[in-house]
Amino acid sequence: MAPAAMAYKVIGYPHLSMGLELGAVYTTAELELRCKAPDRRRKLHAKLSNPQLFRPASLKSALSARGSAKRSTLPGKASPVWVRPPKLQQPKKDDQVGQRRAIADRLAKSLLERRRTTDADVLKALQAWAFHDNHARQNVRRRGSAQPVFSDSLGLSLRRDGRLGLTLLSRQYVSFTKLLCKWLRDTRPKCMPETFPWTSISVNCNYAAARHRDKNNAGPSIIRAFFEDSWHMVLRLLMLKLKL
């Protein structure tokens, strides 16, 4: 039985050794990743329909840092030491990048089932995504700046031997890559021909690039920026650059 919602609030412990926090909101993608074995995942899907254990919640609340602000634990009683709060509501650390990317990819897989991919769908997947500091892109790093360069490449990339190859991220996170491609086809501007080709997608987040010129671009590019400024602060700024 497939889950009815894309996020759930934990009301009671399902006793599946998931380390869930009472009152917290988890994406269905993260809940499923915490139950990797097929039999445990089937048990999870059955228990998600139990209102004494889980309550359907909005995906927005699962992606928001404020989703962790209120908990249903008793006053003065700390959470058990084995509790693992939602990954998407924790500070983004290097050791959690892979886990967040896996959640974003599984979330993208669910969003791909929709007939049409919207800006809101892509923004949700991008909010779940996480970055390492990209030390390979020295041409965009400002001189003397300690600001990290959060930039990931999807699709094809030029290897050191001069040949084109699929990036490791696209091989690992297929659904995330497919979602971005489907989004472009579904929401393309009128000035963009239906046959517009691209090979690569550059996803950039929250950094001011130094003035530069990419050497290996050929033909026109499409640039799109997403802004999320709920609660009067910028949560994430992403620019998708699709290039020939």
Give the per-residue pLDDT at 82. 81
Examine the domain organization and report whether 83 and 162 are in the same domain.
no
1 assigned to some structural domain: no
Would residue 2 count as lying in a domain?
no
pLDDT of amino acid 43: 96
Separation of alpha carbons 207 and 42, rounded Å: 42
Q: How far is CA 210 from the centre of its chain?
A: 26
pLDDT above 70 coverage of the chain, percent? 84
From the list 131, 173, 158, 124, the residue with the least C-alpha distance to 243 is 158
pLDDT value for 176: 95
Taking the C-alpha atoms of residue 63 and residue 7, their distance in angstroms, rounded to an integer, is 9
Are 125 and 188 found together in one domain?
yes
- Per-residue pLDDT band for 78 (boundaries 50, 70, 90) equals low
Domain of 237, in residue numbers: 97-243
As a 3-state breakdown, the chain gives helix, strand, coil percent values, each rounded to 5, of: 35, 20, 50
157 within some domain: yes
Band (pLDDT 50/70/90 cuts) for residue 228 is low
Number of domains observed in the structure of the chain:
2
169 found inside a domain: yes
- Assigned domain for 203 exists: yes
| Residue where a domain stops, chosen among 90, 122, 147 | 90
| 81 and 187 both lie in a single domain | no
Burial 176-188 (b: 16+ CB within 10 A, else e): bbbbbebbbeeee
Q: Are residues 57 and 125 in the same domain?
A: no
- Based on the fold, state whether residues 214 and 131 are members of the same structural domain: yes
Does a structural domain hold residue 24?
Answer: yes
* Of 74, 90, 106, the domain-final residue: 90
**111-140 pLDDT tens trace:** 999 999 998 898 899 889 998 988 888 877
* Structure confidence at residue 117 (pLDDT): 92
Residues 20 and 123 in one domain: no
Q: Which of 170, 165, 133, 176 is nearest to 153 (CA)?
A: 170
Provide the CB-side half-sphere exposure for 217 (13 A, CA).
12
> Do residues 110 and 208 share a domain?
yes
Q: Model confidence at 237, in pLDDT bands (50, 70, 90)? A: very low
- As a whole number of angstroms, the distance between CA 84 and CA 79 comes to 10
Q: How far apart are CA 29 and CA 230, in angstroms?
A: 23
Query: Across residues 147-161, what is the average pLDDT?
Result: 82
> Span 42-53, mean pLDDT?
96
Q: What pLDDT was estimated at residue 41?
A: 94
**Whether 234 and 138 share a structural domain:** yes
Q: Are residues 76 and 124 in the same domain?
A: no
Tell me, yes or no, whether 113 and 222 share the same domain: yes
Has residue 63 got a pLDDT over 80?
yes
Instruction: Show which of 63, 90, 117 is a domain's final residue.
Output: 90
Name the CA dihedral angle for 158, 160, 166, 172, rounded to a multiple of 10 degrees: -130
pLDDT of residue 96: 86
Instruction: Let me know if residue 228 belongs to a domain.
Output: yes
Shared domain for 79 and 145, answered yes or no, is no
Please indicate, yes or no, if residue 19 is contained in any of the structural domains: yes
Residues 29 and 130 in one domain: no
